[in-house]
Amino acid sequence: MNKTILNTLFFISLGFISGQAQHNSERYSAFRPGDIWKDTDGTHINAHGGGLYFEDGIYYWYGEHKGDDSKAHVGINVYSSRDLYNWIKEGVALSVENDSNSEITAGSVMERPKVIYNKKTGKYVLWFHLELKDQGYSAARTGVAVSDTPTGPFKYIRSYRPNAGKWPLNFKEEWKTIPKGGDPEEWWTPQWHKALNEGMFVRRDFKEGQMSRDMSVYVDQDGTAYHIHSSEENQTLHISELTEDYLGFTGKWVRVQPGGQNEAPAVFEKDGTYYMITSGLTGWDPNPARSFKASSLMGPWKALGNPARGVDADKTFHSQSTFILPVQGKENAFIFMADRWKPENHIDGRYIWLPIEWEDDEPVIMWEDEWRLSFFDKQ
Ligand code: DGJ
């Protein structure tokens, strides 16, 4: 066969392959919460506990790659989309490392990745909840990685127990020392609850740094970034200011809802008011969401109750919050993003994206079997 015939055959087969791919993938024009959601290659999107970042007409969706268990065997995936319905798999933004001494070695836990862009340094900064390999959830750390491009590859820098050696801004002077007789050891007693409210775990972790499990990051209008995380044995949320380069903690931080057991924090802002949606603390099982509002990221945060309405509101429609996305080019259009976890086969986890609606200036979430971005035009 001469070269021209070979080339022709090659291009015909390429056309066939891409035609097949096109055929296998579905083109979406609506959200169908809870359904299998395929990427443009026809594979169920694998980006759990995710967060979105928008730039130049493109949304980037970062999320945990999951196999059948909940550990990180691949790393953090990234997808891109121009319309929020159809997602192209861009690859692995932050890969697990093969070195068994690495904190992000395969088999560690890497959850809830969130990416923000630092205008001053020109770097994309990825934060995620990190648990060290074979240590269950005891390490309670937050990890940070950077990249020059939104799709990565991101380079892992380090992990933290936040705010080592720093007291919260909203902490009484007398709470800084262990009370006479010591802190209670038995959990869930009235004395234990009181000691928790009065900073028992903050004191315990003062030197080493505070625990950080479920987390999110948020950039305020003035460019200051904040790290929001479940701390104090998941009993209390902490909100901490990040350094100018977004790679560390300034040591300015507050406790939110001591003893409130909030997980899965997701923050957004509308008309100068900050809102936060969280979940309760029931592992992979769903529970009623909670919502809060504040006039400053550092609080005080006012509890507004469960924002979900209707059937299955008490289970947040069988999902747990992960991010709230302001839709570009639309006013007051926010998407509540949540995970419907499938702990028996994590890769089958589903995505619940629902529009945020408003009742007396408070965010509410109602179930939709199918909806489109035009939903926001009707409001
Ligand atoms: C609930 C958290 O929200 C998830 O991200 C994950 O950490 C599970 N707990 C682990 O049980």
* Cβ 117 under 6 angstroms from ligand 1: no
Task: Output the residue whose Cα is nearest ligand 1's atom 9.
Answer: 283
Q: What angle do CA 88, 93, 99 make, to 5 degrees?
A: 140
* Cβ 112 under 6 angstroms from ligand 1: yes
Q: Do both 185 and 250 map to the same domain?
A: yes
How far is 282 from 263, CA to CA, in rounded Å? Answer: 9
* Cβ 66 under 6 angstroms from ligand 1: no
**pTM given for the model:** 0.93
Range of the domain at 198: 165-261
Q: Do both 339 and 252 map to the same domain?
A: no
Q: Do both 119 and 79 map to the same domain?
A: yes
How far is 88 from 262, CA to CA, in rounded Å? Answer: 33
Residue 30 sits at φ, ψ, to 5 deg, of -155, 160
Nearest to 256 by CA among 292, 220, 295, 216: 292
Q: Please give the distance, rounded to the nearest whole angstrom, from the Cα atom of residue 111 to the centre of ligand 1.
A: 8
Q: Do both 329 and 221 map to the same domain?
A: no
Q: Do both 88 and 152 map to the same domain?
A: yes
Residue 16 belongs to some domain of the structure: no
Burial class (CB in 10 A: 0-12, 13-18, 19+), 85: middle
Residue 18 belongs to some domain of the structure: no
Residue 269 belongs to some domain of the structure: yes
Give me the number of domains the chain comprises.
Answer: 3
Contacts of 58 (CB under 8 A, 6+ apart): 80, 81, 82, 150
Contacts of 45 (CB under 8 A, 6+ apart): 37, 38, 39, 61, 63, 79, 87, 89, 351
Q: Do both 61 and 128 map to the same domain?
A: yes
Q: What is the pLDDT along the chain (379 residues), one digit of tens a residue?
A: 444 444 444 444 443 333 333 345 679 999 999 999 999 999 999 999 999 999 999 999 999 999 999 999 999 999 999 999 999 999 999 999 999 999 999 999 999 999 999 999 999 999 999 999 999 999 999 999 999 999 999 999 999 999 999 999 999 999 999 999 999 999 999 999 999 999 999 999 999 999 999 999 999 999 999 999 999 999 999 999 999 999 999 999 999 999 999 999 999 999 999 999 999 999 999 999 999 999 999 999 999 999 999 999 999 999 999 999 999 999 999 999 999 999 999 999 999 999 999 999 999 999 999 999 999 997 6
Bridge partners, 356 (sequence order): 365
Q: Do both 180 and 293 map to the same domain?
A: no
Task: Output the residue whose Cα is nearest ligand 1's atom 1.
Answer: 283
Q: Do both 49 and 140 map to the same domain?
A: yes
Residue 6 sits at φ, ψ, to 5 deg, of -60, -45
Pairing relationship of beta strands 290-294 and 302-305 according to DSSP bridges = antiparallel
Q: Please give the distance, rounded to the nearest whole angstrom, from the Cα atom of residue 214 to the centre of ligand 1.
A: 7
* Cβ 284 under 6 angstroms from ligand 1: yes
* Cβ 49 under 6 angstroms from ligand 1: yes
Residue 299 belongs to some domain of the structure: yes
Q: Do both 214 and 317 map to the same domain?
A: no
Here the CATH number for the domain that contains residue 315 is 2.115.10.20
Q: Do both 129 and 174 map to the same domain?
A: no
* Cβ 212 under 6 angstroms from ligand 1: no
pLDDT of residue 25: 64
Q: Which residue has the tokens 């928790």?
A: 196
pLDDT of residue 26: 76
Q: Do both 48 and 142 map to the same domain?
A: yes
* Cβ 111 under 6 angstroms from ligand 1: yes
